[in-house]
Chains A and B, each alone.
Chain A
Amino acid sequence: MNDLEPVDALDIELRVNGSAVRRRVPVRRLLSDLLRDDLSLTGTHVGCEHGVCGACTVLLDGQPIRSCLQLAVTADGCEVTTVEGITPADGSLSPLQAAFRDAHGLQCGFCTPGFLMTLVAADPAEHPTDGSIDALLSGNLCRCTGYQNIRTAVRRAWGRDDEGNASAGSDTPLGSGTSSGSGAS
């Protein structure tokens, strides 16, 4: 059958952040390379190329996937959403993005789009506790923040109180898991 003959490239059609994309794509090309190099959507970052770090997370038909492990041709007919697609059209920040900024939930920013894409696909009701937030985030690595401020950002974005959900170490004489000193002299 012709369909089983090896081919170097295939024509694919997909929607990326709501726009139609038609491309002839080498069959071995990664979705992450299609997004970054062919479509100039460089907000999706590639951190490990073996599916562990989660920096390349995008939504495929609404589900978070590792774009570094997905061949672009397998996204044929799908809807892909990247960090550019969850940003308000006027360039402002979505409530989730604003919560990351306000809680200092990012430093170098390289892993951040992956965290955001994992979170936009999540149902807060399925993650009612800090422990379940940690489990949700455990597929994304961050080397800068130590996750604490990411956790805070998620709580705030999901309408939760910093204190109400604080965990071990929070009700000590020295404060609530954040700075307790004056900071100024």
Chain B
Amino acid sequence: MSGGAATAGLVADPRPRREDPRLLTGQGSYVADVRLPGMLEAAFVRSPLAHARIRAVDTDAARAAPGVIAVLTGADLSDVEPFPDLRERTRPVRQRALCIDRVRYVGAPLAVVVAEDRYLAEDAAELVDADLEELPVVADMDAALAPGAPLLYDDWPDDRIVATAPVDPELDAIFETHQVVRGTYRMQRHTAMPMETRGVVATVERGRLLVWTSTQVPHVVRTVIARTLGLPEHRIRVVAGDVGGGFGSKLHVYPEEVVIPALAWRLRRPVRWIEDRREHFLASSHARHQRHDLEAAVDERGDIVAVRGDLVCDVGSGEILPPGVAPAFVSAGSITGPYRFPRSQARLTCVVTNKTPSGAYRGFGTPEIVFALERLLERVARETGQDPVELRRRHLIRPEDLPYETPNGRRIDSGSHLEAFERAVAWAETTRERLAPTARGSIGVGYANYIEGVSPNYHATSGLWAQQETSTLRIEPDGTVVVASGLGPMGQGTETMLATLASQLLGVPHDQVEVRLGDTDLSPYGLGSFGSRSTVVAAGAVQLAAGRLLDKVRTIAGHLLEASATDIELVDGRARVVGSPDRSVGLAEVAHLAYFRTFDLPPGTEPGLEATGAYEQPGVDHRPNAQGKLNICLTYANSTHACVVDVDRATGVVRLLAHLAVHDAGLLLNPQVVDGQIMGGVAQGIGGALYEQLLHDADGQPLVTSFMDYLVPGAPEVPELTIDHLSTPSTTTPFGLKGAGEAGATGVPAAIANAVCDALRDTGIDITQTPITPSSIRAALRATPDPTTTEGS
């Protein structure tokens, strides 16, 4: 479809993406592709110790090395302000772009070498001699919680960066008078691992800083550069070209995004730094490292009347902006999932340890709590003698419950929670029968139900930026349309999406629309792409801008056609009189008046054809209310995952035979793109469930720093996914849209764990942590009585 009449609605437009031809032919423009005349290259010197005081950093030998232009330490950059600590109720870390007196994780930046090329910079980086005084290492969350633990921050009383302790005597009374089922569930440290590492190129152009960086949040990066370097924002331009994946890791602003601009500013020469993969393992955000003690109070009918949890998140050193505590708050706030548990409470403790700072990763705290809750439900079913499917069915939100407010204040406006689950159960029962186990294997089925917050309030995460998004629409003199947005795409097809919005909401052909993104000079201030928000907030902003621009087009076209402005509609790029399609003018003719023959404009009409719309989402809370409730997102998509696995009883190897995602994201603007988001999310979920982990030894030394050890799933590990779309529009969003960026990843660890336990149910195995490795299954089987040596199912 191309264009069509501007209407109150949007329709699905399953076209191939406009980004693809350049990406398929090697014509994309990623940060590492930027090459400038006279460009220097930087290499960072990183801490080899997890915790140490910096006595001195000797750079003399490095400075004397061939091709070296400059070597800077933290002391040399002491005039650079610390990263701002913006979030309330989170202890300040005063993160430095280069460490000054203390290093708190292996990989922390100590110094930077700038040389004629990267080879020479890396040679010289080896010559930098850091005199470090080792300090006791806090290697894990238990060590951080122990009384008298060594402190990472000398002015803190302990290593807790966040501690919430809600008190609810009524809830405690419920747990004292009911049967209680409890479990402890752990998710391992793993992370986004985009195929493109990070990178920054900076230069000074006509007195302004020009910075290329691989980021999801170009404007936010600009603000942080301005605050740390003390420059006005208008003297900084941040450009994110094509970004090679982000998945949350690139919504953080990193030290190198300040250091490289500072170097370019001082040296007045272009400087490039491209993170290598080992650096990425050390210096880009980790994620998901949580432990949940969960309890359910069950009444005599087997109904769950309350859940409560004690959640601990290991955020690493904490030196990251926005702080890595935010996903753990989402875990705590999502403790009831899509289930009607009348009461809930979550105590949250986030601790700092001597490891790489953790932060955002697709799902943002939700996969962790879904894993814990769905495993707990299985245990409740077993300990109370119930069918786990029936237990879920009885507690899921039903259509008549909507809108439904969870005990934590999430306001779920719409969804198909029970229907999604029923469809998954029907699929799983059929699929289980169809699939045969391997010779030593047993087959099992697992489910996970969840909701995924869409378009979160970034204020709760960052402490500063809230939730607005802005788009500008301009009709050029030749009638083409330019839409500019502050979103920060990382491969999701955002350009195509924005063109589709502008095309449909204005009424112009798709190929008549050009999109400007990822450049702070070309786009209005926006908060970037994260939290499954891009399509939803862009639709809100483009809708406002298109309405304003259409009003003007109607006025001018009405004047040209001698008709009332209210009788003009824009269809396929032509303004025509409603009911008389013969009477029409093209957008170029309208623009000709607006820009050139301005003396022919209707009286009082301002020249030009441009409008801006800034969308602020309604009904989202910025801080908890007196009862601790917080509605953090604009809406909540729902999903059920089901999978069928084969578990080899001798080796413990899990094979995923079939996986279903029933997904309700409302209207799908580009169904093929939404499917792609779910497929990619599921693959990442498989990695987190079975393969990926970032291990450290007792000294905080990372044991996994390459793709040899960090097992990103390859094609053989990811089965064909079946996607079943339901389509319940939101009542709170523009056009009923819901986001779909994150949800694919969220249900996978829980569904696979449940399926593995189902396959081995005769053994009583109860998986409580990820990754579910062959050795962990063999260990669990050894630890449980084995009533049979034959295939279990």
A residues apposed to B, CB below 8 Å? 26, 28-29, 36-37, 40-50, 52-53, 55, 82-84, 87, 91, 93, 97, 100-102, 104, 106-113, 116, 131, 133-135, 137-151, 166-175, 177-185
Question: In the assembled complex, which residues on chain B have CB atoms less than 8 Å from the CB atom of A147?
Answer: 683, 714-715, 718
B166 / chain A contacts, CB cutoff of 8 Å: none
- B35 within 8 A of partner (CB): yes
Kindly state whether residue B242 has any CB partner on chain A within 8 Å.
yes
Q: Is the CB of A181 within 8 A of B725?
A: yes
- The answer to whether A178 and B491 touch (CB under 8 A), given A109-B19, A109-B244, A172-B430, is no
In contact, B676 and A149 (Cβ under 8 angstroms): yes
Contact between A141 and B707, CB atoms less than 8 A apart? yes
Task: Tell whether A167 pairs with B720 under 8 Å between CB atoms, given A93-B25, A143-B194, A173-B427.
Answer: yes
Least distance between A85 CB and chain B CB atoms (Å)? 9
- Name the A residues within 8 Å of B276 (CB-CB): 49
B714: A residues at CB distance < 8 A? 134, 137-141, 147
| Cβ distance A81 to chain B, nearest Cβ, rounded Å | 12
Distance (whole angstroms) from the CB of A71 to the closest CB of chain B: 12
One of A29, A179, A181, A184 near B119 (C-beta < 8 A): A29
Using an 8 Å CB-CB cutoff, how does the interface string of B477-492 with A read, 1 for contact, 0 for none?
A: 0000000000000111
How far is it, in angstroms, between the C-alpha of A66 and the C-alpha of B583 when the chains are bound? 61
Contacts of A182 in B (CB 8 A): 725, 727
- CB contacts (< 8 Å) of A97 on chain B: these are 24-25
A29 to B430, CA, bound (A): 57
- Whether A175 and B25, one on each chain, are in contact in the complex, defined by CB atoms closer than 8 angstroms, is no
For residue B526, CB closer than 8 A to chain A, the reply is no
A108 and B195 within 8 A (CB): yes
From B94-102, B665-673, B780-788, give the one contacting chain A: B665-673
What 9 additional pairs, Cβ within 8 angstroms, besides A110-B30, A168-B719? A101-B16, A101-B17, A108-B243, A145-B679, A148-B721, A168-B657, A172-B658, A179-B668, A182-B725
If A167-B719, A182-B725 touch, does A148 touch B679 (CB 8 Å cutoff)? yes
Query: Contacts A42-B26, A108-B243: A145 and B680 contacting too (C-beta < 8 A)?
Result: yes
Q: Which of B193, B247, B718 has the most CB of A within 10 A?
A: B718
* Residue contact B718 to A185, C-beta cutoff 8 Å: no
A141 to B717, CA, bound (A): 11
Main secondary structure on A side of the interface with B: loop
Report the minimum CB–CB distance from B72 to chain A (whole Å): 24
Over the window 715-735 of chain B, the binary record of Cβ atoms lying under 8 Å from chain A Cβ atoms (1 yes, 0 no) is 110111111111101000000
With A144-B680, A147-B683, A179-B675 already in contact, the answer to whether A91 and B25 are too (CB < 8 A) is: yes
A169 to B33, CA, bound (A): 40
Q: Cα distance A178–B721 when bound, in Å?
A: 7
Contact B25 A87 (CB under 8 A): yes
Complex contact B727–A110 (CB within 8 A): no
Which residue of B has the minimal Cβ distance to A98?
B24
* A148 CA to B423 CA, complexed, in Å: 22
Q: Please measure, in the bound complex, the distance between the C-alpha atom of A53 and the C-alpha atom of B673, giving whole angstroms.
A: 24
14 contacts between A and B (CB under 8 A): A87-B24, A107-B676, A108-B244, A110-B30, A138-B714, A143-B195, A143-B683, A143-B712, A144-B680, A146-B681, A170-B722, A173-B427, A179-B675, A185-B729
> Is A181 within 8 A of B727, CB to CB?
yes
Contact (Cβ within 8 A) A183 B14: yes
Chain A residue numbers with a CB within 8 Å of B679 are 145-146, 148-149
Alpha-carbon distance between A47 and B277 when the two chains are bound, in angstroms: 7
List 6 A-B pairs, minimum CB-CB distance, nearest first. A43-B26, A181-B725, A108-B491, A109-B23, A110-B244, A146-B683
If A93-B24, A107-B492, A110-B244 touch, does A143 touch B680 (CB 8 Å cutoff)? yes
- Partner of A108 from B12, B196, B671 at Cβ < 8 Å: B196
What residues of chain A lie closer than 8 Å to B24, measured between beta carbons? 83, 87, 93, 97, 100-101, 106, 109, 112, 116
Q: B195 and A181: CB pair below 8 A?
A: no
Assembled-state Cα–Cα distance A173/B736 (Å): 28
- Contact, CB under 8 Å: A43 / B16: no
Residues in chain A near residue B19, CB distance under 8 A:
109
B25 near A43 with CB under 8 A, answer yes
Interfacial chain A residues near B192, Cβ < 8 Å: 143
B493 within 8 A of A: yes
- CB of B195 within 8 A of CB of A47, answer yes
Contact of A110 among B196, B721, B726 (CB under 8 A): B196
Q: Would you call B402 an interface residue if the criterion is a C-beta within 8 Å of the partner chain's C-beta atoms?
A: no
**Residues of chain B lying within 8 A (CB to CB) of residue A144:** 195, 245, 491, 676, 680
Which residues of chain A are within 8 angstroms of B32 by Cβ–Cβ distance? 36, 42, 45-46
Is the CB–CB distance between B659 and A109 below 8 Å? no
Chain B interface residues toward A at CB < 8 A: 11-12, 14, 16-17, 19-21, 23-30, 32-33, 35, 119, 192-197, 242-245, 247, 274, 276-278, 423, 426-427, 430-431, 434-435, 490-493, 657-660, 666-668, 671-676, 679-684, 706-708, 712, 714-716, 718-727, 729, 736
Given A87-B26, A177-B722: A52 in contact with B706 (beta carbons within 8 A):
yes
Are B26's CB and A106's CB within 8 A? no
Chain A residue, CB-CB nearest to B716: A134
Q: How far is the CB of B760 from chain A (nearest CB, A)?
A: 21
Bound form: Cα–Cα A99–B605 in Å = 49
Q: Which residue of A lies closest to B684 (CB)?
A: A143
Question: Would A177 and B720 count as touching, CB distance under 8 A?
Answer: yes
Residues of B within 8 A of A179 (CB): 668, 671-672, 674-675, 723, 725
Closest A residue, CB atoms, query B708: A52
Which A residues touch B720, using CB under 8 A? 148, 151, 166-170, 177
CA distance A106 to B196 in the complex (A): 14
* Contact across chains for A50 and B427 when beta carbons are under 8 A apart: no
> CB distance B194 to A146 under 8 Å?
no
Distance, CA A83 to CA B119, complexed state (A) = 25
> Are B715 and A169 in contact (CB-based, < 8 A)?
no
In the bound complex, CA of A107 to CA of B667 (Å): 21
B621 CB to nearest A CB, Å: 28
Tell me, in angstroms, the Cα distance from A108 to B193 when the chains sit together: 13
A166 to B706, CA, bound (A): 33
**Could you tell me if A93 and B672 are in contact, using CB atoms closer than 8 angstroms?**
no
Q: Which residues of B contact A138 (CB under 8 A)?
A: 714-716
Rounded to whole angstroms, the CA-CA distance of A87 and B26 in the bound complex is 9
CB B277 to nearest CB in A, in angstroms, measures 4
Q: Which residue of A lies closest to B244 (CB)?
A: A110
Most buried by A among B11, B26, B27: B26
Which chain B residues border A46 with CB–CB below 8 Å?
32, 274
The winner among B244, B426, B683 for most chain A CB atoms within 10 A is: B244
A173 touches B721 (CB 8 A): no
Is B277 a contact partner of A48 (Cβ separation < 8 A)?
yes
- With A110-B195, A141-B714, A151-B715 known to touch, is A180 a contact of B723 (CB < 8 Å)? yes
Candidate in A135, A150, A170, A185 with the most chain B CB atoms within 10 angstroms: A185
Most chain B beta-carbon contacts within 10 A, residue among A110, A137, A150, A166: A110
B274 contacts across to A, CB distance below 8 A? 46
With contact pairs A29-B119, A146-B679 given, residues A108 and B242 touching in the complex (Cβ less than 8 Å): yes
Question: Which residues of chain B are within 8 angstroms of A102 by Cβ–Cβ distance?
Answer: 16
Closest chain-B Cβ to A172's Cβ sits at a distance in Å of 6
Q: Which residues of B contact A28 (CB under 8 A)?
A: 119
Q: A183, B682: Cβ atoms under 8 Å?
A: no
> Contacts A101-B16, A148-B720 known; A109 to B242 CB distance under 8 Å?
yes
B12 shortest CB reach to chain A, Å: 4
Please tell me if the beta carbons of A53 and B195 are within 8 angstroms of each other in the complex: yes
Closest to A182 in B: B727
Whether the pair A52, B707 counts as a contact (CB closer than 8 A) is: yes
Q: A53-B707, A138-B716, A168-B658 are in contact. Are A145 and B676 (CB under 8 A)?
A: yes
Complex CA gap A138/B707 in Å reads 13
Task: Find out whether the CB atom of B675 lies under 8 angstroms from the CB atom of A104.
Answer: yes
Q: Report A-chain residues with C-beta under 8 Å of the C-beta of B493.
A: 107
Least CB separation from A91: chain B residue: B25
Minimum CB–CB distance for B589 against chain A, Å: 32
Q: Which residues of A contact B490 (CB under 8 A)?
A: 108
Partner of B722, one of A47, A104, A151, A172: A172
Please tell me if the beta carbons of B119 and A26 are within 8 angstroms of each other in the complex.
yes
